[in-house]
Amino acid sequence: MIPFVREFDFEYGRVDRVSPRLRRVICNNPGPFTFTGTATFIVGDDEVAVIDPGPIDEAHLTALMAALKDERVTHILLTHTHADHSPLAKALQQRTGSPILAAPPPARPTSASANEGNGGEGWDETAVFPPDRVLSDGETINGPDWSLTVMATPGHASNHLAFVLPQENALLVGDHVMGWSTSVVVPPDGSMADYMRSLDRVIAGDFSVLWPTHGPPVVHPAAFLEAYKAHRLDRERQILERLAAGDTAIPQMVAAMYLGLDPRLVPAAGQSVLGHLIKLAEDGRVTATPAPTVDADWRLT
């Protein structure tokens, strides 16, 4: 079982000092995918970086500008360009004059369903791209008493990044790992194979704390991440069992595997199963007819 943590102290619009170099302001956009809302992190003091400004929300922008009073924003950084993370970047840039830094646009086509019924996890369709500077895996951004090293973590999104804060042995992990829930992987841009490789990379980092963009921090990452990985491998096993039992359609598998699931999350569960099935197809263990989509007929190879 994953040792989820769902209780933490926050108020919308309040700036909280959560570590020596991090402050957090949470946007009032709660939902089944965003939990209590999007957390925007401010790194450093006086000369700062802002990570994931959030959705278009005037109250959140006002709260951020109040938190940043008399400080210089040197960088606006995006973990990825889902609609609950990046749209406010342009408005924040207009207020601060700061450059927007992010990964390139999505490497794979995004599906229309990615922007429907998913509580804000669809793509940012505003004109964020191209960013002012494209970030590369391994590069470091420096501040007066802080630095952030870019870690490419594709999977939840093909252009997903995390940011290592070495002074605190911390990882600002975006949506790749969350303390309150598992992360959604929606094909075709989301890739379960990429996700699992990125998860192994985060595990190998041996961080002291993970700071997700939704919910509380993960303060015992080693055990948590092993449980997170085990959960994904168990889902893969369950899917293979459902196929062996004769299920051929994703809705059948979801009904059998996700008992008591919130109806709002059923489409996301189907996308997650699809992500696993595509990975299994890439591994040569299953086949899809006529093509690997959510409506396909799936069978063991």
Question: At 246, is the secondary structure helix, strand, or coil?
Answer: coil
207 and 288, same domain (yes or no): no
94 and 116, same domain (yes or no): yes
Q: What is the dihedral of CA 269, 275, 276, 277, to 10 degrees?
A: 110
- Mean pLDDT, 10 residues at a time, over the chain (301 residues)? 95 98 98 96 98 98 97 98 95 97 77 42 63 96 97 96 98 98 93 97 98 98 98 97 98 95 90 96 97 96 95
91 and 192, same domain (yes or no): yes
- Asked whether the beta carbons of 124 and 56 are under 8 A apart, the reply is no
Q: 22: Cβ–Cβ under 8 A, 6 or more apart, which residues?
A: 41, 42, 43, 165, 168, 170, 211
> What is the token pair recorded at 46?
């006086």
Quote the pLDDT of residue 113.
40
The answer to whether residue 219 sits within a structural domain is yes
CATH number at residue 32: 3.60.15.10
Quote the pLDDT of residue 114.
44
Quote the pLDDT of residue 249.
98
Rounded-to-integer distance, Cα 242 and Cα 256, Å: 8
Quote the pLDDT of residue 265.
87
Quote the pLDDT of residue 109.
54
pTM for the complete prediction?
0.93
143 and 235, same domain (yes or no): no
42 and 81, same domain (yes or no): yes
Quote the pLDDT of residue 128.
55
Quote the pLDDT of residue 124.
72
What range defines the domain where residue 247 resides? 231-300
